[in-house]
């Protein structure tokens, strides 16, 4: 079974005068079939929208904000890279290749 990815938006900073969103803060989480979980947080700036095509702030949906963030980070290739990074985090959690600690405390 494939990993499940969820994109969530935590904040959309905007200009108060016109409501234009200029940045999207987002979290992407991945869960595997065993319930092992990994996530990453980031933000991305957005290009100003045309006045004619701008969606009023109160009408923006989370799906739209996620779509804008995904486009701004570079589209499908970058989304796939984020998912691959999360896959690697999940694999490391399930089969660790690194550890921490000090050798004198067993």
**Residue 106, pLDDT score:** 62
With a cut of 80, say whether residue 105 has pLDDT above it: no
pLDDT in tens, 36-48: 999 999 999 999 9
With a cut of 90, say whether residue 71 has pLDDT above it: yes
Helix ranges (H only) for the chain are: 62-73, 76-94
Q: Which helix (H) or strand (E) holds 42?
A: strand 37-45
Distance CA 37, CA 50 (A): 39
Residue range 60-82: average pLDDT?
98
**Of the given ranges (6-10, 22-26, 49-53), which has the lowest mean pLDDT?**
49-53
Q: What is the pTM of this model?
A: 0.89
The b-or-e profile of 28-64 (16+ CB within 10 A means b, else e) is bbbbbeeeeebeeeeebebeeeeeeeeeeeeebeeee
């Amino acid at each position: 079974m494939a990993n499940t990815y969820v994109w969530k938006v935590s904040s959309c900073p905007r200009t108060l005068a016109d409501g234009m969103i200029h940045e999207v803060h987002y979290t992407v989480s991945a869960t595997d079939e065993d319930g092992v979980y990994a996530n990453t947080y980031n933000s991305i700036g957005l290009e100003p929208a045309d006045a004619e095509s701008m969606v009023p702030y109160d009408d923006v949906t989370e799906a739209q904000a996620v779509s804008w963030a995904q486009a701004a980070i570079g589209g499908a290739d970058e989304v796939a890279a984020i998912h691959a990074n999360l896959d690697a985090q999940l694999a490391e959690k399930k089969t660790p290749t690194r550890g921490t600690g000090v050798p004198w405390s067993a």
